[in-house]
Structure 1
Amino acid sequence: MLGIEHSGRQAVRIARIRALIVLCALALVAGLVTLWAIRNDSQVSANSECEPGAVEIKTAPIPDPSEIEVIVLNGTDQSGLADQAAAQLTDRGFVVVETGDAPEAYDGTALVQYGPEQYAAGLHTYAYFYQGRDGFDLEWDQPITITLGSDFREVRSASDARQSFAQSGGIEAPEGTCAVE
């Protein structure tokens, strides 16, 4: 009788050890999954450095021109300038959704207007215009709009735009915004 009782206690003890091992393994897996979720949660890093009231803008990744829709407007009295620039932009991969005349004349090379939703795309587009003017506006809610001026000659090549973008010193968030990736 003692032999049966002893082997029964031993079986219970082994079952408890197995259950404890399984529970520990499950706790370890749960802990690792929690750590992974916290490290990969973009909301934690995105909101940690933003000041209250700042508009969040995405600074990365820089979109490919094929993902950027633009409107090209002629701010001069030179006929066909918007169509000429639109063709050059299309050759460089941009999606031109509209061309036309600007409501008022523009004297510079080009004014590239964009808002917080298109920040990275707006900077990329701006790099294609030599001595262009950056027209970032917190209130802008239209597609990226390029107004060509009397000094406009041509849209830069992709390699020249990349070089210009690289020499700009990186992307810095404008006042009133908070950069998130």
Structure 2
Amino acid sequence: MSFARVRALVIVGMLAVTALVFVVVAMVRDTQSNAGAAEGCPEGWPHADVTLRDHKDVKIRVFNGTDRPGLAASVGDDFRNRDFQVEKEGNEKKQIDGVAVLRYGPKGVGSAHLLRAYFLGAAALEYKADRPDDIVDVVLGNNFQQLATTTEVNQSIGDLGAPVAPPGSCPMPVDN
């Protein structure tokens, strides 16, 4: 072997060892290993389920917050056709000015995030920390036109990002 070839092998070997040392140091000093876990959660705060749910796993109640008769039933049917579990349809006592309001508790954070995409991010969120169930109440408002298409929902989910725990709650611990 020539001297040039030996020198090249020594340099490549040193670069490989240096890269290995950097990887090991980065893994040992990683401070984000528990990112997203509920460690450090204040006592008494609820654990929010921030898992983005599949349509078939989302339970909803649809309420009409407008003066348009039959709107809750119509939108409830639309949600059923998209494989949501529609528990109830009815009328809201007061009228809603916006597109929609989503009311949910700690167990419904991921479900509400998915539903928000069906309103292209225009639905107002009402988080109730003491709500024990995973059902999301969808209250339709006067500015509601129609639910988004599948393509629009997928784009909206991308725009909205991942679900996050609402203020006053912590993300649910993840089992590894």
Deviation string, structure 1 residues 6-47 (Cα, Å, up to 9, x no partner): xxxxxxxxxxxxxxxxxxxxxxxxxxxxxxxxxxxxxxx844
Determine if contact 1:111/1:133 at 8 Å carries over to the other structure: yes
Shift of 1:81: 0.7
Unaligned runs of 5+ in 2: 1-35
Unaligned runs of 5+ in 1: 1-44
Determine if contact 2:61/2:137 at 8 Å carries over to the other structure: yes
Shift of 1:153: 0.7
| Alignment coverage as a number of residue pairs | 136
Question: 2: CA distance between counterparts of 1:49 and 1:149?
Answer: 38
Which of 161, 172, 177 is the aligned partner of 2:164? 172
- Which protein shows a greater Rg? 1
Which of 42, 48, 56 is the aligned partner of 1:51? 42
Judged with a 3 Å threshold, the aligned counterparts in structure 2 of structure 1 residues 137 and 67 are, in CA distance, closer, same or farther, namely same
Which of 45, 60, 85 is the aligned partner of 1:70? 60
Determine if contact 2:66/2:140 at 8 Å carries over to the other structure: yes
How much identity, in percent, do the aligned residues show?
A: 26
Question: 1: CA distance between counterparts of 2:98 and 2:39?
Answer: 39
Determine if contact 1:102/1:147 at 8 Å carries over to the other structure: yes
The aligned runs of 1:15-94 (5 Å cut-off) are: 46-60=37-51, 62-94=52-84
Shift of 1:73: 0.6
Query: Are residue 117 (structure 1) and residue 107 (structure 2) matched?
Result: yes
Q: Which residue of 2 aligns with 1:8?
A: none
Question: 2: CA distance between counterparts of 1:154 and 1:140?
Answer: 28
TM superposition score normalised by structure 1: 0.69
Determine if contact 2:109/2:163 at 8 Å carries over to the other structure: no
Shift of 1:53: 2.7
TM superposition score normalised by structure 2: 0.70
Deviation beyond 4 Å, 4+ runs, structure 1: none
Q: In structure 2, what residue type is equivalent to 1:123?
A: H
Question: 1: CA distance between counterparts of 2:150 and 2:167?
Answer: 29
Determine if contact 1:56/1:116 at 8 Å carries over to the other structure: yes
Q: In structure 2, what residue type is equivalent to 1:121?
A: S
Q: In structure 1, what residue type is equivalent to 2:59?
A: E
Question: 2: CA distance between counterparts of 1:174 and 1:69?
Answer: 19
Determine if contact 1:67/1:95 at 8 Å carries over to the other structure: yes
- Taking only aligned residues, the RMSD between alpha carbons, in angstroms, comes to 1.8
